[in-house]
Amino acid sequence: MTKPDILQVGAYPDWDQLPLETAFTMHRYYEAPDKPSFLASVGPDIRAIATRGDLGASRDMIDACPQLELISVYGVGFDAVDLETCRSRGIRVTNTPDVLTRDVADFGVAMMLAKARGILDGDAWVRSGNWASKGKAPLARSVSAKRAGVLGLGRIGHAVAKRLAAFDMEIGYTDIGPKDYAPDWTFYPDPVALAEASDYLFVTLAASAETRHIVGKDVIEAAGPDGMIINISRAANIDEDALITALQSGRLGFAALDVFEGEPDLDPRFLDLPNVLLEPHQASGTVETRKAMGKLVRDNLTAHFSGAPLLTPVL
Ligand code: 8YV
């Protein structure tokens, strides 16, 4: 039986690549020096696209594949996939929810702790010899018993909030409405009110056109000069220019960011800011979670081509 042709948008670890190559004919878009010509030549044969959350699939890419049936996303976020085009052509879309929730939540909390408690600065203090020459490192900020805000109490936001509760934090959240599963946490309908009531504001909501820049100047300034904003969702949820300006002026105290506009080429102004922790979009980046994500990508592809129901459909 001929193997279905799949357009592969970005690299996967070897433990995913090998089984993919066994079951399918993989066409590696990311290795093509001339991407438009590559798409024009392989596009007509493509029946599925395997992509990543950070890469998605653009309208041009989808249009170049007239036989496309499925887009399988390695990641929970599918905001970079042109869903309108998929809807209009009846193309199915899958993602990898649940399997990454715990690791992403752990990483968000770790970013808060690392920045607030000066973990990286402390390491640099020791390595530079400052401990011996200058004495103790500068004092950090408490996390326990402070106020946490979670913007978007979905799977990941909920997992973050459960972890924060173990730090005796007072928890508030914003979502489209109050959640039954959060009786002990305070619901704020408005992100500005949430930010005002938070020392640590976590951005954990799925990105869409509606949430673009939901964390704007007003929310950022409401978090305030002692506040910290932690983003483990998508860069587009924050007005990055307003964030940088507020970090520069001190109107926002701190930020801890795993996602950036135009990543991996981030705004160079970030590099000069000591009050921001910069991470290379790695909240789901553990061997365990990435293996589970890769398996789910393959299982969705296999289900589709064997006529079985998709495991984790988005569309
Ligand atoms: C993955 C992600 O970063 O789940 C998502 O939406 O952005 C990440 O878990 C990414 O797809 C791996 O490159």
Break the chain down into helix, strand, coil percent, rounded to 5.
40, 15, 40
Q: Which domains does the chain have, with CATH numbers?
A: 5-98+288-306 (3.40.50.720), 101-278 (3.40.50.720)
Q: Report the side by side order of strands in the sheet with 70-74.
A: 25-28, 5-8, 48-52, 70-74, 92-94
What's the gap in Å between 258 CA and the centre of ligand 1? 11
What's the gap in Å between 62 CA and the centre of ligand 1? 20
Yes or no: say if 196 and 221 are a contact pair by the CB < 8 Å rule.
no
Amino acid code (one letter) for 48: A
Report CA dihedral (113, 114, 119, 123) to the nearest 10 degrees. Answer: 160
Q: Does 146 sit in the ligand 1 pocket, CB within 6 Å?
A: no
- Name the residue with the closest Cα to ligand 1, atom 4: 75
Q: Does 304 sit in the ligand 1 pocket, CB within 6 Å?
A: no
Q: Does 109 sit in the ligand 1 pocket, CB within 6 Å?
A: no
Yes or no: say if 73 and 52 are a contact pair by the CB < 8 Å rule.
yes
| 112/119 Cα distance (integer angstroms) | 10
Q: Does 290 sit in the ligand 1 pocket, CB within 6 Å?
A: no
pLDDT of 265:
97
Yes or no: say if 311 and 300 are a contact pair by the CB < 8 Å rule.
yes
Question: What is the full per-residue pLDDT of the chain (315 aa) written as tens digits?
Answer: 799 999 999 999 999 999 999 999 999 999 999 999 999 999 999 999 999 999 999 999 999 999 999 999 999 999 999 999 999 999 999 999 999 999 999 999 999 999 999 999 999 999 999 999 999 999 999 999 999 999 999 999 999 999 999 999 999 999 999 999 999 999 999 999 999 999 999 999 999 999 999 999 999 999 999 999 999 999 999 999 999 999 999 999 999 999 999 999 999 999 999 999 999 999 999 999 999 999 999 999 999 999 999 999 999
Q: Which atom of ligand 1 is nearest to the CA of 293?
A: 9
pLDDT of 33:
98
